Homo-oligomer: A and B are copies of this chain.
Amino acid sequence: MPPLNEEQLDQLRDERREQIKYAALRVFACYGLCGTKMSMIACEAGVSQGLSYRYFKSKDELFVELIEEAMREALEAVKYVSEQPGTPTELMAMITEGMLEENNKYYFMLVQQARTSENMPERVKQIFEQYSNQAIIDQLVSIFIKGQDAGEFIAGDPQQLLFWYFALISGLMLQVQESDGYGLPNATFLMRVLLK
């Protein structure tokens, strides 16, 4: 007779899994894949070293799962906003603000760690190909063109301008550490590069 029923166990397992996963996010984001030791994750999560391997097959797999989640949620956020009412400028501002939110920071750092390292697991490269340029930017191209037509945005290839815009923001978020004391700028500042 098991002490807990199946459902309770499942819930417990899910909680543990998340606990380890988000500890890993924080550590990977700061130290990168190869700079992170499994012991650091275990320590951050407050569990033993071995336990992580009951929930994730390997360090790489744990990293990949986080990358996948980051990209999936980024895409969903952009999709959601692009379906809202508002002028192109308003929508763009919403997306920009969403990106700048504090609790997105770890995900941005994680993705940056992955993008700036050559020796990533094959699966990470695949995910980037699948999501990065295509999907996310494509969601916004039509909005951007509307904004250009409305005279709100500067002229130029929408794909390219959007790519640069996200690169700027992603890069910015990484540079900005609490220690610098400058904090993140608001959306208005950043949008100046796009607005006429």
User: What residues on B are CB-neighbors of A192 within 8 Å?
Assistant: 154, 192-193
Q: In the complex, are the beta carbons of B175 and A115 less than 8 A apart?
A: yes
User: What residues on B are CB-neighbors of A122 within 8 Å?
Assistant: none
Interface of A is mostly: helix
Q: Give the CA-CA distance A109 to B174 in the complex, in Å.
A: 13
Q: How many residues of A contact B (CB 8 A)?
A: 39
Interface membership of A112, Cβ < 8 A: yes
Q: Give the CA-CA distance A60 to B154 in the complex, in Å.
A: 45
Interface membership of A151, Cβ < 8 A: no
Contacting A168 at CB < 8 Å: which of B112, B118, B133, B168? B168
Interface membership of A86, Cβ < 8 A: no
Contacting A172 at CB < 8 Å: which of B34, B109, B167? B167
Q: In the complex, are the beta carbons of B164 and A185 less than 8 A apart?
A: yes
Residue of A33, A154, A175 with most partner-chain B CB within 10 A: A175
